[in-house]
Chains A and B, each alone.
Chain A
Amino acid sequence: MSSDSPFWLRKLTAINSRLFPRGDANLTRLKRRQALFAAIGRRLPLLRTLLFVAGYLWILAIPTLPGQGTYIDENALLPGQVNTNWNWAEVHAADRYLDHIEKLRDDNATSEQRAKYFAEEFKKLGIPASTQNYTFSTVFGDSSGTNAYATMSAPRSPGVEAMVISASWLSRTGEGAGSLNLRGVSTVLALAGFLRRYSFWAKDLVFVISDDYLEGMQAWLSAYHGISQSNLHTNDLDLSSGVIWTALSIDYPGHSFSHLGMFHEGLNGRLPNQDLLNSFIHISKYSGGVPVILYDYVDHQEYPDQYDLLPSWIPASVRQHPDVKGYLYRFKNVLRHGRYQARGIGSGVHALFHQFRIDAFTIFALPATGPHGFHAIGRIIESTLRTTNNLLERLHASFFFYILTDPDNFLKIGLYLPSAILISVAMMLTGLSLWVEAGWTTSGDKKSTDKKWTRRKRPILHVLAIMISTHLLGVTMFYLVNNKLFFRSRICPVAVMLITAVPPIYAIFIPAASPSDAPLSVVLKALNLCFASTVISITTVLNFSLAASMAILLGIPLSVSPTSSRRARPKTVYYIAYALFGLGWLVLCPEGVRKAVLDWETLGVWFGPFLCIVIAPLVLQAGVVCILV
């Protein structure tokens, strides 16, 4: 190309030769790939930061994401298409039951006496009923109780499918703190007498009045499905029915209620099919005339005063803005959902059903001075049962992965999943760049372009040994915590925390790598980050809230552990900080530990073991990185 050609032509020719170079095509492709990788590599710190920022912002923005309105996907459900027959005579029946039950409460009746009374009442209605005794033996001692249940065979049906209507003796108020679900139990009894008068049931109706808060139902469900649990002692059920498809749990602790709250999170992050919830919301709103809320959070437009949550130094124009309140309302809903799901504890008795592929949720009558009572709740439950009675196959059409931001709007998995994935990708990139860094070293003048790159060995075996040992330590810790003696004195948690001293000691005794090899700390950090990122990505589809919490809590701390000795003078201080971060909950929240252990033992909630065996060791590994520097 001659030099006197115009500028634009020269530019075009340059672009052309770049896009379609002459010579060996393979060679150019290789070169192009190298250039691309180099470009990414140069901008890696920026890219990483961007991914982190985007991920965290995305998580914060979940309550405001443009979700979509809920809708009913399964055509068979036909919610709210029936005339309800529940009327004041049934309300009266419920009131009579309530009188009896209140008397039982005042007489301090034992579980057995109560269950016997319930079973007898069912039998008086002509429904076969029975009781079930159970005992859970846990590290905190034995706890036993008695469930009452009744199976009403549907007319003309072979009795292979069933629906459950249940109420636990303890209400979910304060997660089963002790207030009684008297009206819920009376509702179930009155419903039993009412529903058996109709011949349109296609599925058996199973009424369960479970003892305690969750334990009773866990014992009943295990016995019903023939699942043996080593620490559960119970007798076989005398009555059986078919495969349970849906279950409603009724929780009505107060005298009257203003809203019906919906609780749907199951154990270990499982959720029921959204069609079930949508049908209930539809029926409650349009057939029953009772507004539905998520959990016990009332709507921000109806009760704006309840969302004056921001600190007072923020200008009132911002604090009082409806959009801000709307955000806070949805934020509270999402946060509550995340808190249940991440800890895997489930938000009510319905939570226990999901493990057996039963779609279930709890109807919570929000205590208030009015205006609704037995009349409204009975009609709504009747209509909801008629809807689930229509099912020809299991609920499958609608969503199983969703976040409800309010009762009428939800986020599909594609809208919220990327937030945690972005953070985990950032962690993965950090890990991979460290991995490359560990494998190569430069020699010669730093400024000169003619750097000499040489490979060096990465001491993988040593690093893997450290990682595996921390996880084994997690297993040991889990067994120590899951022990009678652990909760005897306050010293035990501190003593267990002391085992965090093992990894650094172990790490110090690892024979020093030869100077030509990569430093242990860099390889450890690389593998630690890659592993953590993998765990987070996998967990996102199993239990998004847990994955998001891990991404939020571990993302930055694991990525910023110092790898150059210049910045990490007080090694032990760093280590102790990490150890406190990873295991401080042992000492700081004994109640939480207690609950996690109990949930694991009775209900099989994985959060405790997961925390001890996966999460805490990941943090300890980051601490060991600081020691090894």
Chain B
Amino acid sequence: MLWRCCLVLIGALCTPVLSKHLSNEEFREQVSLQTLQDGRVASTFSFNILLKDATPREPRTLIFDDESQHYNLFPLALGQILREYAVTELHLTLNAGKWNYDSWGYPKERDVGTGAALWAWMADGGPTSIDYRWQGLRNALAGLFCASIGSLDEQRTTSPVLPFAPEGSLPDWGVEHELRHASLASEHVCTENLTPFLKLLPCKSLSGIASLLNPHRLFDADWHGMGLHVLWNPDAGVEVRLAFQLVSDPLRISAGKKQDWSFSTLFDRTIERTCPVAQSSIVDVALPREALYNISPEPPRIDQNVAFYDLTNMSEALDVKLKWALDFTYPLDPLKITSMPISVRRTLQGASQDRGQLSLVIKNNAPFPLQVLYLETMPWIVQFYLHTMRVSSDTSGDDFISNISYVPSVPHSRPATFQAVLTLPTESTVYLTIDVTKAFLRYTEHPPDAQRGWDLPPAIILPLSSSNAIRSEFVGRIYTPPLLVDLATPDFSMPYNVIVFSCSLIAFIFGNIFNLLTRKFVVVRLGSQQGTSKSKHD
């Protein structure tokens, strides 16, 4: 009894302190679940932490000691990195899988490029160069997220300003802001990346919405990805958004019959308690449009066919269940339902190890012409022959491509950046092909891993908002799947064969030439025989 009294007392004393500190930090969490037309379920978790009235560090102040950092909700490990390298805006995504735009439509979290991608806006003018800070940022984030972001070196770093415009605002310090972008398609995202991600959350995965993030289920999904977005809003402050997105397939479990799902089937968990520091904690479920279904528990609020559950005053464990009356049948033409304006297919053709052809097929499904920005950030191991670029379409016309900008690659150091605006006529397909040559690597440039080929980063298609009549929800980067390129590779698993063959060859050639160079040629008489003379090597 005494104990309980003490606890109450301590709690009463602490509350004003906590709320005071909390007043300049804000944490909101939300999960959106949506049934996709192919029966899969897309869940998007987003955790927003706002540091009110804060500003990013100005690089010119890097020469001074930084002000001390005290946060209650804002992740300190991340805050230290942001201030140490004076990063204004930061985006990091770690995704696994191929987002199927044709059947899943646009994702809620737009950046779904396979593997790791990191881009940051940083201001110049500091004591150290932007590239130096970029390198530090990469290594720090690599440590924080247990990912190979550290290997996103200058061989992968580009600066495509147009498709990666800042999402927040850039402070006006009178110095230029620059973009650094790099992606690593071969990064495998798994549980070792999730643990540090959860550590950045105020309630970890112990309570609130984050308690659904059960690694056993997340990494069994068809697609999963996490993102970290830091941006500055002059009216609000520094905002951190941690997002986790996954696409699960309830039909896989039910042998292709029922698409019913619940928190327990999707995540093997329910939400037991709320996160006490969350200002808002919302579950929203997009309800099916043309089907008989049953959702339980009964949603307190339904707005525009979306059911909302507020967790802040939750009394019992929440396990949202959605059940359909009828068995599921797959739609035969998925595109009709998702109404994606654009379908993209990018392939690397040709079976040889020295050259090939990059082919991009973009189909405009919309009943109006579209303009898109096409971006390739290609590592130098694949080099474009720009003069072989051919653009054609199944409709008449010829100026499908304009505003080409090309930063050629530099072997062994810099990737190429290819940007162009493609004009897609109404309901037509545009084909772009370009011949490429595959590099011959120095032997130290081969990675020591299993030799499966080199992953090329995804291409990015950005529908330009200047196009008429395009709906706002269709503005966002579209990522193509990555490509795998086979370069000429020695069989490193058999070093002795290689050594034996190459040494024999060298010894043979060297021996012969050395012999010829150092010999003296004289005439030798063979005594009584025939009297003929022969030249003789000695």
Please report A residues at the B interface, Cβ cutoff 8 Å: 24, 26-27, 30-31, 76, 120, 123-126, 128, 153, 155-161, 193, 196-199, 225-227, 236, 240, 242-243, 355-357, 392-394, 396-397, 453
Give Cα A225 to B486, complex, Å: 13
Question: Knowing A126-B330, A236-B361, A393-B452 touch, does A155 contact B351 (C-beta < 8 A)?
Answer: no
Query: How far apart are the CA atoms of A128 and B332 in the complex, in Å?
Result: 9
CA of A243 to CA of B91, assembled, Å: 30
B-chain residues with CB within 8 Å of residue A392 when the two chains form the complex: 450, 452
> Is chain B's binding surface mostly helix, strand, loop or mixed?
loop
Contacting residues, chain A, for B536 (C-beta < 8 A): 26, 30
Q: Find the B residue at minimum CB distance from A221.
A: B351
Question: Could you tell me the distance between the alpha carbons of A453 and B527 in the complex, rounded to whole angstroms?
Answer: 17
Using a Cβ–Cβ cut-off of 8 Å, how many residues does chain B contribute to the interface with A? 53
Are the CB atoms of A393 and B450 closer together than 8 Å?
A: yes
> Shortest Cβ distance from B327 into chain A, in angstroms?
12
| Contact of B227 with A by CB under 8 A | no
Does B336 count as interface, using CB distance less than 8 angstroms? no
Q: Is there contact, CB below 8 Å, between B524 and A27?
A: yes
Q: Which residues of A contact B221 (CB under 8 A)?
A: 155-156
Count A-B contacts at CB 8 Å: 115
Residues of A within 8 A of B220 (CB): 155, 199
- In addition to A27-B524, A30-B524, A226-B347, 14 A-B residue pairs with Cβ atoms within 8 Å of each other are A120-B332, A126-B38, A155-B221, A156-B97, A158-B455, A159-B481, A160-B481, A197-B252, A199-B249, A226-B349, A226-B357, A227-B349, A236-B361, A242-B484
Known interface pairs A26-B538, A197-B252, A197-B256; A227-B97 also in contact (CB < 8 Å): no
Give Cα distance in the complex from A125 to B38, angstroms: 10
Does A227 contact B351, Cβ atoms closer than 8 Å?
yes
Neighbour of A156 across the interface among B102, B219, B256, B526, CB < 8 A: B219
- A158 and B115 form a contact (CB under 8 A): yes
- Asked whether B185 lies within 8 Å of A158 as measured between CB atoms, the reply is yes
B39 at interface by CB-CB < 8 Å = yes
Q: Give chain B interface residues in 234-269, CB to chain A under 8 Å.
A: 249, 251-252, 255-256
With A156-B96, A240-B345 as contacts: A199 and B486 at CB distance below 8 Å? no
Residue of A nearest to B458 (CB): A158
Q: Give Cα A27–Cα B329 distance, bound, in whole angstroms.
A: 94
Q: How far does the alpha carbon of A27 sit from the alpha carbon of B524 in the complex, in Å?
A: 7
Q: Is the CB of B483 within 8 A of A227?
A: no
| Bound-state Cα–Cα, A70 to B185, Å | 38
Q: Is B11 interfacial (CB 8 A cutoff)?
A: no
Q: How far is the CA of A193 from the CA of B536 in the complex (A)?
A: 78
* Contacting pair A155 B482 (CB below 8 A): no
Q: Which residues on the A side are within 8 Å of B369 (C-beta)?
A: none
Residues on A with beta carbons closer than 8 Å to the beta carbon of B493: 396-397
Point out the residues of chain A lying under 8 angstroms from B350, CB to CB. 225-227
Interface check B451, CB cutoff 8 A: yes
A124 adjacent to B527 (CB under 8 Å): no
Known: A27-B524, A156-B222. A355 touches B450 (CB 8 A): no
B455: chain A residues within 8 A (beta carbon)? 158, 160
Given contacts A26-B524, A157-B98, contact A396 B491 (CB under 8 A): yes
Distance, CA A397 to CA B497, complexed state (A)? 12
Query: In the complex, what residues of A have CB within 8 A of residue B249's CB?
Result: 155, 199
Q: Which residue of B lies closest to A242 (CB)?
A: B484
User: Which residues of A lie under 8 Å from residue B114 when comparing CB positions?
Assistant: 158
Chain B min CB distance to A259 (Å): 32
B453 near A: Cβ within 8 Å?
yes
Note all chain A residues with C-beta closer than 8 A to B61: none
Q: Mark B91-124, 1 if CB is under 8 A from A, else 0.
A: 0000011101011000000000011000000000
Query: Which residues on A sit within 8 Å (CB–CB) of B45?
Result: none
Among A30, A153, A161, A356, the residue within 8 A (CB) of B526 is A30
**Given A156-B219, A160-B455, A226-B359, is A240 in contact with B538 using a C-beta cutoff of 8 Å?**
no
B232 at the binding interface (Cβ < 8 Å): no
Please state if A158 and B97 are interface contacts (CB–CB under 8 Å).
Answer: yes
A selection of 30 A-B contacts at a CB cut-off of 8 Å is A27-B527, A30-B524, A30-B534, A123-B332, A125-B330, A126-B251, A128-B102, A128-B103, A153-B100, A156-B97, A156-B222, A156-B223, A158-B96, A158-B114, A158-B481, A158-B482, A198-B252, A199-B220, A199-B252, A226-B347, A226-B350, A226-B357, A240-B345, A240-B347, A242-B481, A242-B483, A242-B484, A393-B450, A394-B451, A396-B493
Partner of B97, one of A26, A126, A155, A243: A155
Interface residues of B in 343-384 (CB under 8 A from A): 345, 347, 349-351, 357, 359, 361
Please give me the residue from chain A that is nearest to B361 by CB atom.
A236
* A236 cross-chain contacts in B, Cβ below 8 A: 361
Rounded to whole angstroms, the CA-CA distance of A343 and B530 in the bound complex is 54
Q: Which of B500-538 contact A (CB under 8 A)?
A: 524, 526-527, 530, 534, 536, 538
CA gap between A355 and B223 in the complex, in Å: 33
Q: Are B97 and A157 in contact, CB atoms less than 8 angstroms apart?
A: yes
Distance from A395 Cβ to chain B, minimum over Cβ atoms (Å): 11
Point out the residues of chain A lying under 8 angstroms from B534, CB to CB: 30
Of all chain B residues, the one with the shortest Cβ separation from A23 is B527
In the assembled complex, the Cα of A355 lies from the Cα of B350 at a distance in Å of 11
In this complex, the member of B96, B224, B451, B484 whose beta carbon has the largest number of chain A beta carbons within 10 angstroms is B484
Quote the shortest CB–CB distance from B491 to chain A (angstroms): 6
- The residues of B that contact A355 with a CB separation of less than 8 Å are 351
A394 x B452 contact (CB < 8 A): yes
**Interface core residue of A27, A158, A193, A355 (most chain B CB under 10 Å):** A158
9 A-B pairs closest in CB distance: A226-B349, A160-B484, A392-B450, A158-B114, A155-B222, A393-B450, A159-B98, A126-B330, A156-B96
Report the Cα distance A193→B221, complex, angstroms. 18
Max count, chain B CB within 10 A of own CB: residue among A124, A196, A226? A226
Residues 316-347 of B at the A interface (beta carbon under 8 Å) = 329-330, 332, 334, 345, 347
- Chain B neighbourhood of A125, CB < 8 A: 256, 330
Residues of A within 8 A of B97 (CB): 153, 155-158
Q: Across the interface, which residues of A come within 8 angstroms of B491, CB to CB?
A: 396
Instruction: Knowing A26-B536, A156-B96, say if A393 contacts B219 (CB, 8 Å).
Output: no
Report the bound CA distance from A296 to B114 in whole Å.
Answer: 46
Of residues 456 to 496 in B, which have CB atoms within 8 Å of A's CB atoms? 481-484, 486, 491, 493
- Note all chain B residues with C-beta closer than 8 A to A397: 493
Docked CA distance A125–B484 (Å): 28
Q: In the complex, A31→B530 CA distance in Å?
A: 13
B345 to chain A: which residues have CB within 8 Å?
240
Which B283-301 residues sit within 8 Å CB-CB of chain A?
Answer: none
Given the complex, which residues of A lie within 8 Å of B347, measured CB to CB? 226, 240
